[in-house]
């Protein structure tokens, strides 16, 4: 049975719309992740050291900052609260320029920074499979997102 041109147009329109949603999800995931990740990826010239957590509130944990050889000491710094942070923990950090906020570095910090992209990949996989009918690509995106989130969970 031959398809009509209007049916093909609707099919191409659906694929285009789904592609736009996928693009939006992935751009949002990268944008959200890059807000934290750029402090880790582009850490040259920033203050590095070790944070010892002394207390946690609803949104952030605070603690002392022991600088490396080129950084200055700080009496108190803050890191975004995470389920993996508790009083007494010590981990390497980099200070956000011009603030008293720090970002966890190393593999756990890197993976945690990119966790929003993992969630975006998993959401995009549903749209790729359902809206664009690209099953293999959908599975690839979903598995990549799940692996990123699982690796983050294990690393923290």
Residue ranges of the domains in the chain? 5-40+114-155, 44-102
Tally of CB atoms within 10 A around 27: 11
Strand ranges, E, within 57-150: 60-67, 74-80, 90-95, 102-104
Cross-sheet strand order for the sheet of 102-104: 74-80, 60-67, 48-56, 90-95, 102-104
- pLDDT, tens digit (0-9, with 9 covering 90-100), for 120-147: 999 999 999 999 999 999 999 999 999 9
Tally of CB atoms within 10 A around 51: 26
Whole-number pLDDT of residue 147: 97
Assess contact for 30 and 37: CB atoms under 8 A: no
Whole-number pLDDT of residue 97: 87
Assess contact for 131 and 54: CB atoms under 8 A: no
Could you tell me the CA-to-CA distances from 117 to 15, 33, 120, 142 in Å, in that order? 22, 6, 5, 11
Whole-number pLDDT of residue 80: 86
- pLDDT, tens digit (0-9, with 9 covering 90-100), for 31-61: 999 999 999 998 888 889 999 999 988 888 9
Assess contact for 80 and 99: CB atoms under 8 A: no
In sequence order, which residues have a C-beta less than 8 Å from that of residue 72 and are 6 or more positions away?
47
DSSP letter, residue 101: B
The per-residue pLDDT of the chain, averaged, comes to: 91
Which of 24-28, 60-64, 115-119, 125-129 has the weakest average pLDDT? 60-64
Q: What is the pTM of this model?
A: 0.85
């Amino acid at each position: 049975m031959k398809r009509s041109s209007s049916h093909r147009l609707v099919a191409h329109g659906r694929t285009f719309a789904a592609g736009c949603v996928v693009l939006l999800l992935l751009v949002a995931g990268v944008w959200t992740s890059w807000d934290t990740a750029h402090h880790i990826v582009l850490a040259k010239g920033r203050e590095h050291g070790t944070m010892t957590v002394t207390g946690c509130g609803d949104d952030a944990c605070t603690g002392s900052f022991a600088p490396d050889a080129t950084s200055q000491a700080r009496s108190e710094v803050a890191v975004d609260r995470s389920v993996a942070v508790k009083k007494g923990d010590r981990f390497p950090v980099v200070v956000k320029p011009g603030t008293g906020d720090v970002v966890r570095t190393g593999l756990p910090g890197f993976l945690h920074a990119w966790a929003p992209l993992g969630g975006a990949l998993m959401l995009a996989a549903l749209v790729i499979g359902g809206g664009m009918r690209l099953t293999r690509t959908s599975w690839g995106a979903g598995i990549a997102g799940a692996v990123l989130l699982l690796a983050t969970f294990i690393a923290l």
